[in-house]
Amino acid sequence: MSIQEDKIAKLVDRRAAARLGGGPKRIEAQHAKNKLTARERLELLLDKDSFEEFDMFVQHRCTNFGMEATHPDGDGVVTGHGTIGGRPVFVYAQDFTVSGGSLSKTMSEKICKVMDMAVRAGAPVIGLNDSGGARIQEGIDALAGYGEIFERNILASGVVPQISGIFGPCAGGAVYSPALTDFTLMVKNTSYMFLTGPAVVKSVTGEDVTSEELGGAAVHATKSGVADFAAENEQEGIETIKKLFSYLPQNNMETAPERETSDPVSRVSDVLNSIIPDNPNKSYDMYDVIAEIVDDRDFFEIHRDFARNIIVGFAHMGGRGVGIVANQPKMLAGVLDINASRKAARFVRFCDAFNIPLVTLVDVPGFLPGTQQEYGAVIQNGAKLLYAYGEATVPKVTVTLRKAYGGAHIVMSCKQLRGDVNYAWPTAQIAVMGADGAVNVLYSKAVNAETDPAKQEQIRAEKKAEYEELFNNPYQAAQKGYIEDVIEPRNTRFRVIRALCTLEGKRQDVPAKKHDNLPL
The DSSP line for 17-29 is HHHTTT-HHHHHH
pLDDT of 37? 95
pLDDT of 447? 67
Q: Looking at residues 453-466, what average pLDDT do you find?
A: 74
Q: Is the pLDDT of residue 68 over 70?
A: no
Q: Is the pLDDT of residue 175 over 70?
A: yes
Q: Is the pLDDT of residue 66 over 70?
A: no
Q: Looking at residues 104-115, what average pLDDT do you find?
A: 93
Do 203 and 175 touch, CB atoms closer than 8 A?
A: no
Cα 250 to Cα 519: distance, rounded to the nearest angstrom: 28
Cα 439 to Cα 418: distance, rounded to the nearest angstrom: 32
Strands (E) in 138-289, as ranges, are 162-166, 169-171, 183-187, 192-194, 229-231
Q: Which is it for the CA torsion 99, 101, 107, 110, positive or negative?
A: positive
At residue 436 the predicted structure's pLDDT band, cuts being 50, 70 and 90, is: confident
407 catalytically annotated: yes
pLDDT of 62? 67
Do 325 and 310 touch, CB atoms closer than 8 A?
A: yes
Active-site annotation holder among 172, 318, 323, 366: 172
Burial of 164 (0-12, 13-18, 19+ CB in 10 A): buried
Q: Is the pLDDT of residue 15 over 90?
A: no
Do 439 and 506 touch, CB atoms closer than 8 A?
A: no
Provide the residue type at 254 as one letter: E
At residue 383 the predicted structure's pLDDT band, cuts being 50, 70 and 90, is: very high
Share the mean pLDDT of the chain.
92
Q: Choose among 229, 255, 253: nearest CA to 240.
A: 229
Provide the residue type at 95 as one letter: D
Cα 53 to Cα 317: distance, rounded to the nearest angstrom: 37
Active-site annotation holder among 173, 197, 390, 406: 173
Cα 159 to Cα 122: distance, rounded to the nearest angstrom: 8
pLDDT of 164? 97
376 catalytically annotated: no
Lowest mean pLDDT among 70-79, 115-124, 184-193, 226-235: 70-79
In angstroms and rounded to an integer, the radius of gyration of the C-alpha atoms of the chain is 27
18 catalytically annotated: no
Three-state SS letters, 327-394: ECCCCHHHCECHHHHHHHHHHHHHHHHCCCCEEEEEEECCECCCHHHHHCCHHHHHHHHHHHHHHCCC
Do 400 and 486 touch, CB atoms closer than 8 A?
A: no
Residue/partner pairs of 452-460 with CB below 8 Å, 24 or more apart: none
- Which residues does 389 contact at the CB level (< 8 Å), separation at least 6? 348, 358, 360, 396, 411, 412, 413, 417, 419
**3-state SS, residue 484:** coil
Q: Is the pLDDT of residue 394 over 90?
A: yes
pLDDT of 65? 67
Q: Is the pLDDT of residue 458 over 80?
A: no
What is the DSSP track for 112-139? HHHHHHHHHHT--EEEEE---SB-GGGT
Active-site annotation holder among 217, 408, 435, 477: 408
Q: Looking at residues 461-477, what average pLDDT do you find?
A: 79
**3-state SS, residue 178:** helix
The domain made up of 270-433+473-502 is a member of CATH 3.90.226.10: yes
| pLDDT tens-digit series, residues 227-239 | 999 999 999 999 9
Q: Choose among 407, 404, 408: nearest CA to 431.
A: 404
Q: Looking at residues 387-411, what average pLDDT do you find?
A: 96
More confident residue, 432 or 423: 423
Lowest mean pLDDT among 130-144, 273-287, 487-501: 130-144
Per CATH, 3-247 and 270-433+473-502 having the same topology is answered yes
Global pTM reads 0.94
Helices (H), 392-518: 406-411, 435-442, 444-448, 453-470, 475-479, 492-502
| pLDDT tens-digit series, residues 318-376 | 999 999 999 999 999 999 999 999 999 999 999 999 999 999 999 999 999 999 999 99
Phi/psi of residue 73, nearest 5 degrees: -65, 140
pLDDT of 418? 95
pLDDT of 98? 87
Class of domain 3-247: alpha beta
In degrees, rounded to 5, the angle at the alpha carbon of residue 80 between the alpha carbons of residues 302 and 189 is 45
Cα 489 to Cα 158: distance, rounded to the nearest angstrom: 35
- C-alpha dist (Å) from residue 185 to 76, 165, 225, 253, 358: 21, 5, 11, 25, 23
139 catalytically annotated: no
Active-site annotation holder among 122, 158, 407, 437: 407
| pLDDT tens-digit series, residues 282-331 | 999 999 999 999 999 999 999 999 999 999 999 999 999 999 999 999 99
Cα 96 to Cα 103: distance, rounded to the nearest angstrom: 10
Looking only at the bridges linking them, the beta strands covering 396-405 and 358-364 are parallel
Q: Looking at residues 2-11, what average pLDDT do you find?
A: 87
Looking only at the bridges linking them, the beta strands covering 485-486 and 421-424 are parallel
Q: Is the pLDDT of residue 511 over 70?
A: yes
Return the domain boundaries, the chain.
Answer: 3-247, 270-433+473-502, 435-471
